[in-house]
Amino acid sequence: MSLLTGASGHLDRVVRASFQQRVLRGVAGVAAAGFPVLVGIAGGSAHPWGGAFLVLLAVGLVLMPDSGFPLAWMSAATLLWVASMPDALEASVLVAAGDLVVVHLACTIAAYGPPELTVPAGLVRLWLARAALMVSVTALLLLATRFFGVLDVPASAVVFSTGLCLVAAWALVLLPRLVTRDGAPDS
C-alpha cells in the first residue's frame, strides 16, 4: 500500500465518520495546532519550524487518532515547551497541561471504534468527569509545587535520588502491564 493510498484511505474514514467523531477529531486538531500559539501567548520564544512540525503532527493525529501520532505530537509539544519556556510555575503550565489533556482524551474517545461509531452520551459525560479529575489533580500539584517554591526548599541529593527511584519503580510496575494481555484467551 503506497503512502498516497494510505492517506486517501484515512481521508475516506474521516468522510465516513459520524458527526461526533468529526467533532472529536476537530477538537483534537484545533487543540494540537493551537499549542504553538498558546506557547507564544504564554511568553515563550518563537520556534517557527517547531510550530510547523507540531501542525504537521496535528494533521496526522486528526487522521489517525488510534496511532502513534498523538504520542509523537505530545512529545514534540513538550519539547517545544521546554525549549521555549523558562522553568516557571505560572498558570500557563496548567493551560498547557489542559491542552495536552484535550488532545489526549479527544483521541482516546475517537479511537473507541470505527469512524462511524457514535459513543453513547453517558460515556462522553463520564470522560468529561474524568478530565475534570485529571485537571483538578494537576491544579493541586501546581499549587503544591508553587507552595514549596515559595518556601524555597533547597534541592538535595536525597530528594533527587528518591524521585528517580520512585519513577524507576513506577516504570517497573508499568512495563509488564503494557506488554502482556490480561484476561483469559478467547475460546
Partner 1 sequence: MSSVEPLVSGGWRPTASLVRAALFSTALAAISVGTGRADLLVLAAPFLVHTVAAVSARPGRSPRVASSRLDHASVREGEGTTLEVTLADCEDVEHAVVSLARGSYTSTRPASGVVGSEALPGERIAMSVDVASLRWGRRGVGEGVVAATDPWAARRWGPVRLLPGMLTTLPLPGAFDSRAPVPHPVGLVGTHPARRTGDGSEFASIRRFQPGDRLRRVHWRVSLRTRELHVTSTVAEEDSSVLLLVDSGVDIGVSEGIRGAASTLDVSVRAAGALAEHYLHQGDRVGLRVLGSTERNAVAVGGGRRHLRRVLDTLARITPGEHHDVATGRMRFRVPAGAVVVVLSPMLSEHAVGATVGLARSGITVVVVDTLPAGLVGDVSAEALGGEAGDRRQTVAWRMRLIERDHLLARVTRVGVPVVAWQGPGTLDSVLRGLGRRLRSPRTVAR
| Contacts to partner 1 by CB under 8 A | 13, 16, 18, 66-68, 70-71, 74-75, 78, 81-82, 85, 87-89, 93-94, 96-97, 100-101, 104, 107-109, 111-120, 122-123, 130, 133-135, 137-138, 141-142, 145, 149, 155, 160, 163-164, 167, 170-171, 173-174, 177-178, 181-187
Q: Which long-range contacts (CB under 8 A, 24 or more apart) does 115-122 make?
A: 115/13, 115/14, 115/16, 115/17, 115/18, 115/21, 116/16, 116/17, 116/18, 116/21, 117/18, 117/21, 118/18, 118/19, 118/20, 118/21, 119/20
**Dist CA 155 CA 140 (whole Å):** 21
Closest approach, Cβ 23 to partner 1, in A, equals 16
| Residues comprising the chain, all counted | 187
Closest approach, Cβ 26 to partner 1, in A, equals 19
Residue 55 or 139: which CB sits closer to partner 1?
Answer: 139
| Closest CA relative to residue 42, chosen from 101, 106, 98, 103 | 98
Closest approach, Cβ 111 to partner 1, in A, equals 6
**Dist CA 144 CA 139 (whole Å):** 9
Closest approach, Cβ 163 to partner 1, in A, equals 4
Closest approach, Cβ 138 to partner 1, in A, equals 4
Residue 26 or 120: which CB sits closer to partner 1?
Answer: 120
Three cell numbers written together for 184: 483469559
